[in-house]
């Protein structure tokens, strides 16, 4: 079994099936705390430094909320312009300094492999919140948690999954990380719908095919959405040379209720890492899907809190002490 305590979480390649099962098991234990049925102060006094050098809503806030929900304190740096990286300080020096102020660090940065570079200077665990177009391991874990829970009512699990990934598969780091994790399961069929220029990188495809999985690459929606899960992605404009180049692909694979009813199965679950681009020229996931039970996007985002709580508990070595630090909730909660 992988040793979590004191480890950096940089890539999904670190995990085997047992490690993932452990993370998902601990994530489930976090539900009463996240749902405010009980409090847990197992990380009372601990400090998370949240370093986000690229925009984020879900990842940054849910890392912070997850740490607070375990009783810890959160310090944040948002935007490179607010850090001495903008004065030429190296990632290594920044890590040496910030890790002296922290028990754990979560970091997002626009450059591929930057979080790994940063981790070399850190004396505390570093968790990758997204490094350019490379990886987003905590998103992939929350995606797996979501697929597992969404499939459970249909007596399905991660083995024998039929999933369609759609959109910007070249730059979408969430689909890179998720595909690598899916390669660990059995008999997975992955259909990849994208424009030719935005196809999944070869290395990710070979991770799946080398594990014996079926991969179909296509630029057609028709006939390719009758799956268990459709995982839609946004055109990652920030990874293109210009907005004009991104505009060439925006809106190619929009999913709305009409398309869903025409091409998907009755119970196809819709996922998206979010943010979805709801501007009319993109509209990759139409608001008319919002009333469908099978739209899992907000449950998926909520699951991020559970998975990030689990990663903090595991990397700080307190996952077996949760119940010892429980307290009642003393205020009105809407959950
Ligand atoms: N899914 C995700 O990474 O969202 P944010 O960019 O808002 O963090």
**How large is the C-alpha radius of gyration of the chain?**
20
Beta strands in 79-204 (DSSP E): 104-109, 126-131, 162-166, 189-193
Q: Which residue has the tokens 């992605």?
A: 233
Using DSSP, state whether 53 is helix, strand or coil. Answer: coil
The whole-number pLDDT of residue 252 equals: 82
Domains in the chain: ranges and CATH? 12-135+304-333 (3.40.50.1370), 137-298 (3.40.50.1370)
pLDDT of residue 22: 98
Q: Is the CB of 66 under 6 A from ligand 1?
A: no
Cα angle value 136/63/128 (rounded, 5°)? 30
Q: How far is the CA of 324 from the centre of ligand 1 (A)?
A: 33
**Helix H or strand E encompassing 285:** none
What pLDDT is attached to residue 235? 87
Structure tokens at 25: 């098991």
What is the DSSP-derived secondary structure letter of residue 48?
E
Q: What region, left, alpha or beta, does residue 252 occupy, with left being phi > 0 and alpha being psi -120 to 50 degrees?
A: alpha
Check if 273 has its Cβ closer than 6 Å to any atom of ligand 1: yes
Other CB atoms within 10 A of residue 289 CB:
19
Task: Measure the CA–CA gap between 207 and 4, rounded to whole angstroms.
Answer: 24
**What is the 173 CA–ligand 1 centroid distance (Å)?**
11
pTM of the model: 0.95
| 59 C-beta closer than 6 A to ligand 1 | yes
CB distance 41 to ligand 1 below 6 Å: no
| pLDDT computed for residue 260 by the predictor | 96
What number of other Cβ atoms are within 10 A of residue 76's Cβ? Answer: 15
Torsion from C-alpha of 137, 138, 139, 143, nearest 10 degrees: 100
Among 139, 231, 296, the mutation site with the greatest number of ligand 1 atoms within 8 A of its Cβ is: 139
- 23 burial (CB, 10 Å; 0-12 / 13-18 / 19+) is buried
Kindly state if the Cβ of 274 falls inside 6 Å of ligand 1. Answer: yes
Ligand 1 pocket, residue 94 CB under 6 Å? no
Query: pLDDT at position 243, please?
Result: 87
Contact 58 CB / ligand 1 (< 6 Å)? yes
> How far are the Cα atoms of 38, 274, 280 from residue 229, in angstroms, in the given order?
33, 16, 24
Torsion sign (Cα): 168, 174, 177, 178: negative
Q: Ligand 1 centroid vs 258 CA: distance in angstroms?
A: 27
Residues of the chain with pLDDT under 50: none
């Amino acid at each position: 079994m992988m040793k979590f305590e004191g480890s950096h979480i940089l890539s999904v390649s670190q995990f085997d099936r047992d490690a993932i099962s452990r993370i998902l098991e601990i994530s489930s234990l976090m539900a009463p705390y996240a749902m405010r049925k009980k409090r847990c102060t197992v990380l009372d006094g601990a400090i998370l430094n949240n370093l986000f050098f690229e925009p984020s809503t879900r990842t940054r806030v849910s890392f912070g909320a997850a740490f607070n929900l375990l009783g810890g304190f959160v310090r944040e740096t948002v935007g490179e312009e607010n850090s001495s990286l903008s004065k030429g300080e190296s990632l290594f020096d920044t890590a040496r300094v910030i890790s002296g102020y922290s028990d754990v660090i979560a970091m997002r940065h626009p450059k591929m492999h930057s979080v790994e570079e940063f981790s070399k200077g850190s004396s505390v665990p570093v968790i990758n919140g997204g490094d350019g177009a490379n990886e987003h391991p905590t998103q992939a874990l929350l995606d797996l948690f979501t697929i597992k829970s969404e499939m459970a009512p249909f007596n399905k699990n991660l083995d024998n999954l039929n999933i369609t990934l759609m959109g910007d598969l070249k730059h979408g780091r969430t689909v890179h990380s998720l595909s690598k994790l899916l390669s660990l399961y059995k008999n997975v069929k992955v259909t990849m719908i994208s424009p030719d220029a935005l196809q999944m990188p070869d290395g990710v495809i070979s991770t799946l095919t080398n594990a014996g999985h079926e991969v179909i690459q296509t630029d057609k929606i028709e006939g390719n959405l009758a799956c268990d899960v459709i995982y839609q992605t946004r055109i990652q404009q920030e990874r293109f040379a210009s907005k004009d180049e991104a505009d060439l692909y925006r809106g190619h694979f929009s999913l709305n209720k009409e398309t869903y009813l025409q091409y998907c199965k009755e119970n196809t679950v819709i996922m998206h890492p979010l943010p979805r681009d709801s501007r009319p020229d993109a509209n990759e996931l139409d608001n008319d899907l919002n009333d469908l039970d099978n739209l899992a996007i907000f449950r998926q985002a909520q699951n991020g809190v559970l998975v990030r709580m689990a990663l903090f508990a595991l990397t700080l070595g307190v996952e077996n002490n949760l119940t010892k630090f429980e307290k009642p909730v003393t205020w009105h909660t809407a959950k």
